């Protein structure tokens, strides 16, 4: 089939959202522009105001309200839509008075000139970015990379809201009371998995028989009572040197103005004193660390502050219910969690706990090191000191070092410095020189970079470069390193999965009566194909258009069988050349032909050319159609009215007969019908239940396409619109916000850099990262 090259009118329509048909990157702010009243306004009033004025304007575009010269750039998104429709002849619709060819050309040139009236040689506004909390994927990845704990927020946290096509948009990532409660519960559960405590150890424990105890008053079988100052002790033989714990189960009765105080006794000497609050009905376990050589050691606990009030009969007593020896470390814990060994293993010795200065130094270092990684920047001194005080208070209350660190970890995991990307302590800056923005510090740059490409926290290398002030200088090398790292799979899963729509497959439930072979294995294979092809384009730094017209894909046996491709065996995915394996020429290759994309843009029981056409416009051409007006008749209703079975094409033709539907469907339908040879789950077919499939269509420009091969050729032959679209998607995802009119120059520069380097994928990604919007923060206006 010959490649059909689009006419200039269709090309202009495709790249209208790129501002001009010829990519003007220079400063064009001084170009003369015809006065609006004398040129544009009369034509808009004559041909457009009937539908596009007032509060009920069609498509939300009220041309009578977006005419102001000072507001033109702020309304550029609407003007881009107007330019596209004027240029491709789709507006005004049929049956309405239409401008002459000369008038249409004049209006298009005027709009195009105004859109290009930008000064891109001055510092650009980086925009305002709301502090962005971690979404569920970022939270899970961060916890995994920091602590080695695979916590699944999707099972407990509320779903993240989508905005501008992605779930990492700062404006909708709010924190409500339900989520805050889930954060607290998650921090508790994660800390228990990351830091084992002697209080919770169940194996490797030796209980000391009570007939070995000395001291205290015998109280039946349950406990020994210390009603006066004294101790309960025993002699224990240690077979090998190391660190052990004495775990005592105790309770108390309180009286007077202070709680019961209990000391660990080692060879008759008090080593550590804690407070006991548990009643006899509850009791608690308190563990003391002991460093010892092999041999006998006398151990126990002592009651330190006896009290009795004759008037009230208040009696302060200590009750000892159980002694257990645990250890040595690490035998007592079994296989230590990686997080414990990495961050929390430097426990002060029992001797150090006697001296406030001796224990504070290692605890402060442990907390400081972890806070740097968790907060993605050095911790403020006051917050570090608060955590040290918290650890001290927990130790005085009887917690072991490990249990105290669990509590400290819980506090860090619910801190805004952990939950939000960016510098939560930075106050907005004002600038008296009129500059638009200032560079964020390198710690924030490291976080923006890692959450863009890894959906996770910066690693030690990024934080080191940030601390040395070298990250910006080494940014190209670091971007390349991050993209080579296995964690960049998250970029594919989260960016490409949302952009291409394959994450929707998780909730896809096709009609079982038509697609009984659709199962979890096939669902996973569809997703995997899209991810692997996108990752290959990134990893190999291939041209962007490879995503449109790739001559390869990734298949395993399950997906190959689904496609009708023979010769692929096993569950392992492999890169295959489609020229050799495809049963029909041009059937597979690129995102348009992937089953995952085709299935996610279908209905449960049939294909949807409307959804597929809308997807092409929105995700490949950056020209999303407006939402349908209320009261539109569905295709199902159209089909029910017919006296015979109708093909999808026939249903759509009847649907387009409604004037309010015609304009948008003139663009969407031919694009979607070009993919009609693929059924609801992406299998190739030549017939449906009504007969042979006709996938040909005519675009509003008059260009004809005869199926998917023509559509792929059309898009690949004119990459400007796709480059622009992909740049918009990457910048939106990277910034965590929607794009605004002031991002236009940034987008142009990103596209220019990609174009100059042969449209290579890594060049486009690096251009996004090196853009002012990614690297800077907006100044606030000085008052």
pTM for the model stands at 0.84
Residue 129 domain-assigned? no
Per the rule left: phi > 0, alpha: psi between -120 and 50, beta: everything else, 14 is alpha
Q: Are residues 664 and 534 in the same domain?
A: yes
SS3 690: coil
**Domain closes at, from 282, 311, 335:** 335
Q: Are residues 521 and 624 in the same domain?
A: yes
Residue 239 lies in a domain: yes
**539 & 673 share domain:** yes
**Is the pLDDT assigned to residue 423 strictly greater than 80?**
yes
CA-to-CA separations, 477 to 198, 762, 774, in angstroms, rounded: 45, 11, 17
Tens digit of each residue's pLDDT (9 = 90 or more) over 466-499: 999 999 999 999 999 999 999 999 999 999 999 9
Q: Which domain holds residue 662?
A: 498-717
pLDDT per residue as tens digits for the range 243-274: 899 999 999 999 999 999 999 999 999 988 99
Domain membership of residue 182 (yes or no) is no
* Among candidate residues 115, 135, 164, the one where a domain is terminated: 115
Q: Identify which of 301, 211, 292 has the alpha carbon closest to the alpha carbon of residue 247.
A: 301
- Judged by average pLDDT, the poorest of 206-215, 233-242, 572-581 is 572-581
Percent of the chain at pLDDT above 70? 85
Averaged over 312-330, what is the pLDDT? 91
- Measured in degrees and rounded to the nearest 5, phi and psi for residue 678 equal -100, 130
- Boundary-marking domain end, from 335, 360, 387: 335
SS (H, E, C) 296-353: EEEEEEEECCCEEECCCCEEEEEEEEEEEEECCCCHHHCCCCHHHHHHHCCCCCHHHH
Q: Does residue 69 have a pLDDT over 60?
A: no
503 and 613 inside one domain: yes
Is the residue at 212 inside a domain? yes
Q: Identify whether 132 is part of a domain.
A: no
Work out the mean pLDDT of the chain and round it to a whole number: 85
At 605 the pLDDT is 85
Residue of higher predicted confidence among 668 and 675: 675
CATH number of the structural domain spanning residue 255: 2.60.120.260
The rounded distance, in Å, linking the Cα atoms of 299 and 294 is 14
Residue 54 domain-assigned? yes
Number of compact structural domains in the chain:
3
pLDDT the model gives residue 621: 92
Q: Is residue 65 part of a domain?
A: yes
Contact 544, 722 (CB under 8 A): yes
User: How do residues 100-124 score in pLDDT, each as one tens digit?
Assistant: 777 777 777 777 777 766 778 878 8
C-beta pairs of 343-348 under 8 Å, 24+ apart in sequence: 343/147, 343/369, 343/370, 344/194, 344/195, 344/370, 344/402, 344/405, 344/409, 347/243, 347/289, 347/401, 347/402, 348/401
Name residues whose C-beta falls within 8 Å of residue 181's C-beta, 6 or more positions apart in sequence.
Answer: none
pLDDT band at 511 (very low <50, low <70, confident <90, very high): confident
97 and 215 fall within a common domain: no
What confidence score (pLDDT) does residue 659 get?
54
CB count, 10 Å around CB of 553? Answer: 27
The per-residue pLDDT for 642 is: 59
Do 592 and 692 share a domain, yes or no? yes
pLDDT band with cut points at 50, 70 and 90 for residue 9: very low
pLDDT reported for residue 6:
34
Give the residue with greater pLDDT, 98 vs 155. Answer: 155
**Helices 76-88 and 8-15 sit at what angle, rounded to 10 degrees?**
170
The answer to whether residues 326 and 215 belong to one domain is: yes
Res 430 pLDDT > 50: yes
Q: pLDDT tens digits for 679-699? A: 999 999 998 877 899 988 888
- The answer to the question of residue 105 being in a domain is yes
Region 39-46: what's the mean pLDDT?
71
89 and 231 co-located in one domain = no
pLDDT at 540 over 80: yes
């Amino acid at each position: 089939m010959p490649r059909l090259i689009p006419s200039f009118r269709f090309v202009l329509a495709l790249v209208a959202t790129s501002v001009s048909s010829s990519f003007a990157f220079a400063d064009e702010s001084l170009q003369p522009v015809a006065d609006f009243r004398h040129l544009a306004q009369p034509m808009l009033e004559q041909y457009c105001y009937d539908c596009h004025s007032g509060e009920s304007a069609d498509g939300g575009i009220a041309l009578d309200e977006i005419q102001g010269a000072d507001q033109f750039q702020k309304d550029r998104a609407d003007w881009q839509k107007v330019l596209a429709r004027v240029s491709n002849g789709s507006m005004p619709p049929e049956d309405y008075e239409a401008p002459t060819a000369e008038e249409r050309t004049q209006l298009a040139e005027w709009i195009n000139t105004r859109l290009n009236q930008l000064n891109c040689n001055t510092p650009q506004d980086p925009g305002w970015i709301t502090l962005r909390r971690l979404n569920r994927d970022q939270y899970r990845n961060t916890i995994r990379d920091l602590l080695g704990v695979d916590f699944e927020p999707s099972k407990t946290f509320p779903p993240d809201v989508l905005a501008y096509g992605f779930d990492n948009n700062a404006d909708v990532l709010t924190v409500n009371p339900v989520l805050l409660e889930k954060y607290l519960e998650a921090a508790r559960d994660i800390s228990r998995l990351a830091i084992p405590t002697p209080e919770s150890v169940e194996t490797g424990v030796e209980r000391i028989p009570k007939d070995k105890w000395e001291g205290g008053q015998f109280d039946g079988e349950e406990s020994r009572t210390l009603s006066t100052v004294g101790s309960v002790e025993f002699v224990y033989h240690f077979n090998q040197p190391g660190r052990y714990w004495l775990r005592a189960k105790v309770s108390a009765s309180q009286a007077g103005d202070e709680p019961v105080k209990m000391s660990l006794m080692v060879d008759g000497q008090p080593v550590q004193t804690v407070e006991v609050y548990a009643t006899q009905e509850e009791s608690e376990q308190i563990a003391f660390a002991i460093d010892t050589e092999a041999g006998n050691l006398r151990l126990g606990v002592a009651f330190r502050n006896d009290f009795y009030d004759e008037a009230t009969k208040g009696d302060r007593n200590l009750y000892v219910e159980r002694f257990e020896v645990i250890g040595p470390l690490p035998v007592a814990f079994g296989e230590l969690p990686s997080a414990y060994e990495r961050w929390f293993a430097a426990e002060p010795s029992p001797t150090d706990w006697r001296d406030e200065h001796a224990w504070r130094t290692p605890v402060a270092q442990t907390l400081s090191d972890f806070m740097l990684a968790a907060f993605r920047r050095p911790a403020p001194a006051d917050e570090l000191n608060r955590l040290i005080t918290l650890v001290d208070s927990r130790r005085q209350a009887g917690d072991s070092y490990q249990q105290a660190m669990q509590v400290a970890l819980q506090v860090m995991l619910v801190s805004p410095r952990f939950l939000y990307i960016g510098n939560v302590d930075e106050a907005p800056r004002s600038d008296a020189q009129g500059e638009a923005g200032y560079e964020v510090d390198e710690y924030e740059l490291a976080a923006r970079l890692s959450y863009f490409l890894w959906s996770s926290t910066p690693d030690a290398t990024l934080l080191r470069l940030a601390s040395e002030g070298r990250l910006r200088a080494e940014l190209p090398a670091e971007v390349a390193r991050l993209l080579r790292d296995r964690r960049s799979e998250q970029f594919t899963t989260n960016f490409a999965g949302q952009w291409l729509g394959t994450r929707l497959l998780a909730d896809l439930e096709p009609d079982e009566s038509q697609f009984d072979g659709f199962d979890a294995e096939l669902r996973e294979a569809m997703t995997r194909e899209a991810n692997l092809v996108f990752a290959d384009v990134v990893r190999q730094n291939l041209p962007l258009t490879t995503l449109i017209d790739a001559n390869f894909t990734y298949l395993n046996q399950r997906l190959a069988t689904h496609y009708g491709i023979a010769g692929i065996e096993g569950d392992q995915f492999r890169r295959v050349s489609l020229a050799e394996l495809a049963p029909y020429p041009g059937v597979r290759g690129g995102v348009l032909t992937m089953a995952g994309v085709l299935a996610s843009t279908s209905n449960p029981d049939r294909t949807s050319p409307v959804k597929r056409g809308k997807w092409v416009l929105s995700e490949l051409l950056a020209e999303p159609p407006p939402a349908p007006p209320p009261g539109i008749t569905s295709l199902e209703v159209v089909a029910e009215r017919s006296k015979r079975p109708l093909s999808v094409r026939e249903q759509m033709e009847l649907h387009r007969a409604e004037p309010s539907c015609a304009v948008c469907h003139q663009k969407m339908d031919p694009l979607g019908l070009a993919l009609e040879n693929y059924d609801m789950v992406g299998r190739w077919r030549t017939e449906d239940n009504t007969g042979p499939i006709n996938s040909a269509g005519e675009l509003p420009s008059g260009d004809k396409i005869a199926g998917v091969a023509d559509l792929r050729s059309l898009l690949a032959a004119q990459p400007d619109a796709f480059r622009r679209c992909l740049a918009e998607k990457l910048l939106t995802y990277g910034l965590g916000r929607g794009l605004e009119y002031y991002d236009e120059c940034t987008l142009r520069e990103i596209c220019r850099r990609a174009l100059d380097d042969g449209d290579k994928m890594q060049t486009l990604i690096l251009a996004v990262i090196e853009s002012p919007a990614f690297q800077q923060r907006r100044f606030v206006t000085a008052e």
